[in-house]
Amino acid sequence: MTIKKIFICNSSIIIICVCFSCMWRKQQKQIQAKQQHKQLQHKLQQHKRQHKNLMQLLKDGTYKLVSATDKRGWHVEFTITVEGGKITKSDFDNLNDKGERKSADAAYEKNQ
């Protein structure tokens, strides 16, 4: 064989190897994407089941959480209203001992 034929043959082999390598990498990325999609779908289904179970636990009514007062004199109040097994109203705020809401303080809100 002549050098020209050897060069063409070797070049062809290199080009084929590069093409197969690119195709293989693309296929691997597609496989990974499908696996990640399946994992996300599974997590979403788990979340939906947990959410459904939680909502079944909530009876209609109003629920209120009040935290202990912090060193600055504020405490958290969180209230939710459940109707038909769904949260229909929610209120969260920090209050001082006078019952004043931190969210009603314009100067505080401006700094946030």
Element (H, E) at 62: strand 61-66
Per-residue pLDDT tens over the stretch 1-54: 577 777 677 777 777 777 777 787 888 888 888 898 889 888 888 887 777 766
**What pTM value is reported for the model?**
0.47
Q: How many CA atoms lie within 13 A of 71 on its CB side?
A: 0
**Angle CA(45)–CA(46)–CA(52) in degrees, nearest 5?**
90
Q: What is the mean pLDDT of the segment spanning 57-71?
A: 90
CB–CB of 108/80 below 8 Å? no
Count of Cβ atoms closer than 10 Å to residue 75 Cβ: 14
Does residue 96 sit in helix, strand or coil? Answer: strand
